Amino acid sequence: MASVSSMNNVCFSNISSHVSLSNRDQHRQLYYGSLSFKWLGRHISSRKKRFGACSIVAESSDIHFSDPEWKTKYQKDFESKFNLPHLKDILDVKPRPSTFSLMKREGARWAGKENVIDSAEKPKDRKNDYVDNDDRTLLKVIKYASPTSAGAECIDPNCTWVEQWVHRAGPRKDIYFEPMKVKAAIVTCGGLCPGLNDVIRQIFLTLERYGVQKIFGVRYGFRGFFDPELPMKKLSREHVQDINLEGGSLLGVSRGGASMSDIVDSIEAREIDMVFILGGNGTHAGANAIHNECRKRKLKVSVICVPKTIDNDILLMDKTFGFDTAVEEAQRAINSAYIEAHSAYHGIGLVKLMGRSSGFIAMHASLASGQVDVCLIPEVPFTLDEPNGVLPHLEHLIRTKGAAVVCVAEGAGQELLSAPDLKDASGNAVLGDIGVHFKNQIKSYFNEKGIHSDVKYIDPTYMVRSVRANASDAILCTVLGQNAVHGAFAGFSGITMGICNTHYVYLPITEVIHAPRTVNPNSRMWHRCLTSTGQPDFSPRSC
């Protein structure tokens, strides 16, 4: 029986292979040099989407709820999909005892006293330092009473509670590489994000803790695998010791790159055993293609991803590193807009924040500031000058409050723009500038009304993404970097790691690249944002 989600995996067959993906009913295509591929996926077919009072429950065509065993079958299929790819799947590799261990206080007391086995003082039932391969964590923890509950995602019409277990991250007792022989490479792809250096540093330090001596940095994204002018950088403790104290990436970043075949040729020629890839959805799709090509060639190479997206738009994860820092830094821009707006006659402060397809930064920044009157995100359509549009509401705010602050995500309102049909180097659609468009629309609207307005427009994008990670993100980066190395030594490949319900987990890359994670307009968090801003429904249609 097919699963309710029946998700198609991204797979690599050859340079011209194509796999399609649905993303908000539009196809996004990624290009890596001569390789082009599309991702195909869809949300869980019973996932409910709500816009205002309108609800849509997509009924499953793949699962028969009349079957009394449907829940058990669904869970078995889920477990199969979330099984982690391992080197043992393609190679006859034997485990060896791990070289990673933690120093414990009671362990120091017994150093050199191994012969005192029966001593009454020796600790009993001491737990080891390792995560068992059978350890799991719940992907979802809320049992919804009905499909009409706010934010409910139900598999069946009765909203039956179904446990969904995923693999717990951490060091394993058995490893599948000999540390002294390992050659590891770290690469950062896409755009800048707070915390990149923290992750690089922790990957290096943890590899060193295992006993790895050959650790290299691949410069400027995937380009560094094939560009002769960009030799790999041999990393040392001196290189990484203080890089967490500044933003950016020690290795540099870039979008796009060569074909996956060329990249794997480079990996094979340089005899790299572990590849740690930091990046977002597009980078994950590329990493999965690299993983599949390595398996096709039966290479003993572990390809491990660390999800890097400031937009917080990776599926299944509580949050990704850089997001907390972005929300915190966005406060500076929002506060400036507030001061400017309230210091001017009929002032309107307009702030554009990052968020191509997901409005998490705009939503959380608006909630955190408490100063935003209107928050606009890609997931919730809006009109500008219709009677229930944003501009009449701004007029109302100017007449009643004398000022207004608007926060808009960069991907919001794209349907209102005539943006060119272009792609960037990562295959992402080039967006129209909603910030500039909105600023001009505000000025035109108030001029036509004969009402004075003073618009202050702020776009802090590059200031936000280039800063050093804050404390929250630094901790997240530390654990993700460590777990990436643990996963590689455990023999996994084609996996990524994240935090789910406060626990750190390993996930197959194939399960997180179907589409970007987006704000659910029926979620409690979006409702909280609406309550905070007090904005009405700007939807172009009503249900």
Query: Would you state the pLDDT for residue 128?
Result: 73
Query: Would you state the pLDDT for residue 151?
Result: 80
- Is the CATH number of domain 325-417+431-466 3.40.50.620? no
Distance, CA of 419 to CA of 425 (rounded, Å) = 17
Q: Which residues belong to CATH 3.40.50.460 in the chain?
A: 325-417+431-466
Structure tokens of 294? 């390595």
Distance, CA of 208 to CA of 198 (rounded, Å) = 15
pLDDT band at residue 126 under the 50/70/90 scheme: low
Q: Which residues belong to CATH 3.40.50.450 in the chain?
A: 167-320+469-513
pLDDT above 50: residue 543: no
Query: Which contacts qualify for 339-344: CB closer than 8 Å, 24 or more apart?
Result: 340/456, 341/403, 341/404, 341/405, 341/454, 341/456, 342/402, 342/403, 344/403, 344/454, 344/456
Angle CA 34–36–39, to nearest 5? 160
Query: Would you state the pLDDT for residue 101?
Result: 81
- Radius of gyration of the chain from Cα atoms? 25
* Average pLDDT for 12-41: 32
- Among candidate residues 3, 11, 22, 9, the one with its CA nearest the CA of residue 515: 22
Query: Would you state the pLDDT for residue 104?
Result: 52
**Of 102-106, 180-184, 190-194, 534-538, the least confident:** 102-106
* pLDDT tens per residue across span 314-367: 999 999 999 999 999 999 999 999 999 999 999 999 999 999 999 999 999 999
**Of 51-65, 106-120, 126-140, 512-526, the least confident:** 106-120
Known binding-site positions: 191, 255-256, 280-283, 309-311, 354-356, 410, 462-465
Known binding-site positions for ATP: 191, 255-256, 280-283
Q: Residue 519, CB half-sphere, CA atoms under 13 Å: how many?
A: 29
* pLDDT tens per residue across span 374-402: 999 999 999 998 889 999 999 999 999 99
- Among candidate residues 412, 355, 416, the one with its CA nearest the CA of residue 378: 412
Fold exhibited by the domain 167-320+469-513: Rossmann fold (3.40.50)
Catalytic residue numbers read: 311
